[in-house]
Amino acid sequence: MFPSSANGPSGPSGSPTREMIAFTNHESNKSPFSERRTHQEQMASTLLKTLIKSSNLPSSTRNLCLLTNGIVSNHTAKWMQDTSKKSPMELINEVPPIKVEGRIVACEGDSNPALGHPIEFICLDLKEPAVCKYCGLRYVQDHHH
């Protein structure tokens, strides 16, 4: 299996020889998946080139991504210009921190689980309010001494 040398498959110290390492590296580079991946990449590249060069597609279809980006950016800009509406962060900050008696709170985002988020257990050992990473609600430990 390994190329033979004067000292057998391993060197005088029992460690692999350079020839043995080169042979095993050469064999390990041949993966049955690498040939399949190369073939799939070639097929995808050919398909993409064909679609781009195709003159049968109307120009509006080819420029769909350009139109979509313009619509999204205009929509966002219009929403940000409307000063009568508050941003989500402003709405969250209007809610005062919720006082909790224990050291750990379980936030679900809403009393209705269908409208909430995955349960988040929050430790309240710090002085400042702890913030839920999903909904932004703030919790503080109620110290009634």
- pLDDT tens, residue order, the chain (145 aa): 444 444 445 555 555 555 555 555 444 455 555 566 677 777 777 776 776 666 555 555 554 444 445 554 556 666 667 677 888 888 888 989 999 999 999 999 887 878 889 999 999 988 899 999 999 999 999 876 5
pLDDT at 137: 92
pLDDT at 31: 55
User: What's the CATH number where 137 sits?
Assistant: 2.60.260
Q: Which two structure tokens, joined as six digits, stand for 38? A: 């190369």
Tell me, yes or no, whether 67 and 110 share the same domain.
no
Token representation of residue 7 = 């000292």
Q: How far is CA 120 from CA 81, 104, 134, in A?
A: 34, 10, 8
**Is the same domain home to 40 and 56?**
yes
Q: What pLDDT does 51 receive? A: 66
Who's near 3: CB < 8 A, 6+ residues apart? 9, 19, 20, 23
> Do 45 and 61 share a domain, yes or no?
yes
SS3 13: coil
Cα atoms in the 13 Å half-sphere on the side-chain side of 124: 18
Supply the range of the domain harboring residue 119. 88-141
Pairing between β-strand 104-107 and β-strand 130-131 as defined by DSSP bridges: unpaired
Longest dimension (CA), the chain: 86
In a domain? residue 130:
yes
Residue 131 lies in a domain: yes
Does residue 102 fall inside a structural domain?
yes
Query: Do 74 and 102 belong to one domain?
Result: no
- Number of Cβ within a 10 Å radius of residue 67: 11
Residue corresponding to tokens 């509006």: 60
What pLDDT, on a 0 to 100 scale, did the predictor assign at position 42? 77
Alpha carbon distance 105, 107 (integer Å)? 6
Residue 35's pLDDT is 64
Asked if the structure places residue 28 within a domain, the reply is no
Is residue 20 in some structural domain? no
Residue 74 has a pLDDT of 59
What pLDDT does 96 receive?
93
Neighbours of 107 (CB within 10 A): 24
| pTM, rounded to two decimals | 0.42
Quote the number of domains for the chain.
2
DSSP class of residue 58 equals: -
